Amino acid sequence: MSLTFFLVTLLTGCSFLPSFVVNELNFIQGYGYDLTEKDNLEGTYVYPVFKGGKEPPKFETITGHGDTSKEVRQETNGKVRFPLVSGQIRLLLFGKSLAAKGIFPVVDTINRDPAIGTLSKMAIVDGKTKDLLLLKTQQNENMALYIQDLLEQNMTNGNIPHTDFNTFMYQYSKEGLDPYLPILKKEGDDLIISSIALLKDDKIKTEIPKHYHFIFKNLVEKGNHGMQQFTMKNDDKVVIEIIHSKPKYRVQIHNGKPTFNIQLKIKARLQQYSSTKPSPFPKIINKITKQIEGQLEKQGRTIINKFKINDVDPLGLGSKYKAQDRKFRLKTWKEDYPNAKVNLKVDVKLVQTGILD
């Protein structure tokens, strides 16, 4: 009797589960959240609508309001024919005003949703996320996927350090490390990555201007891409492209106080050298190298001081210190961080290729 009941239950078990037809679901591919004047949430979702056959999908955008992200979803679901679901999320955007207040309530809800992929790209928007998700750069463009590709391309080939939802949650939860996210800005019909936001816990604290993105990326990760232009003392212009770079951190503890020694090794192609007067190029390569090293060290010291002044630690100095000292106490480290000694040495090796003007 019990065996018969088991077999019947096994064969008909699926009837106890909710069933959905794929083309009767709206798969959200991009989230955008803003803070309204009434201090509640405005959520904007991008999702494809499939017409069937060979006809390409159309992309719809819908907006809702609420005190929580769950309430926003409930309101937007009341406006659509088929339910909105989270199985294809590629992009998570947060307006700057919301990031100033704190994005954890939204992020925590997203983190608890098993349908949302941890590799979804994240960014802060200088303005309203709704304006970006409604931006039409091309006819029938899916802006969620467009922005995802924009971020991925600049992280892979440009000067923006890699980050995504999984990375953000790791940085957020790790003691002695603070998160960072790219900032997107609408300029006319285009959008650009204008700067990098540094967050303390879940709130934006300060930004890294574009001029410092190259050194910042090379301080937080190994790389084999990225490009930067330098102006020499005689106004010559030099452009280098990373072949390989690697930062190495060493912590020395004396009388309970840490000193951080950072050695950044860079191998790069000399992509372009523009000079106002002819020069015996092979003879000045060492001079160029030394000037690039000096400029990068100066830039590095500038942003490290900025981190300490604003009490943010995107380099994870605190976590590196903790790994070296069993007596580490977060409260004591917070007091010591503004005056912590950080030494930076940059070693550049240039490969003579590219264009000489």
Q: List, for residues 250-272, the tens digit of each pLDDT value.
A: 999 998 899 999 999 999 999 88
Asked if 345 contacts 264 with a C-beta cutoff of 8 angstroms, the reply is yes
CB proximity list for 176: less than 8 A, separation 6 or greater = 313, 316, 317, 318, 319, 320, 321, 322, 330, 333
CA–CA separation, 335 and 216 (whole Å):
24
Architecture of domain 222-357: 2-Layer Sandwich (3.30)
Dihedral sign from CA coordinates of 118, 122, 128, 134 = negative
139 — pLDDT class (breaks 50, 70, 90)? low
| Average pLDDT value for residue range 158-176 | 96
Asked if 219 contacts 300 with a C-beta cutoff of 8 angstroms, the reply is yes
Q: Which residue ranges does the chain devote to CATH 3.30.300.210?
A: 222-357
Torsion-angle region of 77 (φ positive above 0: left; ψ -120 to 50: alpha; else: beta): alpha
Min mean pLDDT across 45-54, 124-133, 282-291 is at 45-54
Please report, as a single letter, which amino acid is at residue 132.
L
CA–CA separation, 241 and 266 (whole Å):
10
Is residue 280's pLDDT more than 50? yes
- The C-alpha R_g of the chain, in whole angstroms, comes to 25
Strand blocks (E) in 234-286: 237-254, 257-274
Closest by CA position to 264, among listed 203, 146, 344: 344
Which alpha helices (DSSP H) does the chain contain, by range?
2-12, 69-77, 96-101, 104-111, 129-133, 143-157, 165-173, 213-220, 281-309, 317-324, 330-336
Per-residue pLDDT of 308-343, as tens digits, reads 999 999 999 999 999 999 899 999 999 999 999 999
CA 252 from centre of chain: 30
Cα three-residue angle 47-51-55, rounded to 5 degrees: 105
CA–CA separation, 323 and 313 (whole Å):
15
CB proximity list for 6: less than 8 A, separation 6 or greater = none
Is residue 237's pLDDT more than 70? yes
Asked if 181 contacts 120 with a C-beta cutoff of 8 angstroms, the reply is no
Dihedral sign from CA coordinates of 95, 98, 103, 105 = negative
234 — pLDDT class (breaks 50, 70, 90)? confident
Min mean pLDDT across 18-32, 70-84, 102-116, 203-217 is at 18-32
Q: In the numeric block, which tokens belong to residue 357?
A: 């003007």
Closest by CA position to 165, among listed 89, 67, 72: 89
Please report, as a single letter, which amino acid is at residue 204.
I
Instruction: Give pLDDT, residue 17.
Output: 38
The β-bridge partners of 349 are 267
The β-bridge partners of 35 are 41
Q: In the numeric block, which tokens belong to residue 183?
A: 């900032």
Per-residue pLDDT of 42-53, as tens digits, reads 999 999 887 766
CA–CA separation, 151 and 121 (whole Å):
7
Is residue 31's pLDDT more than 60? yes
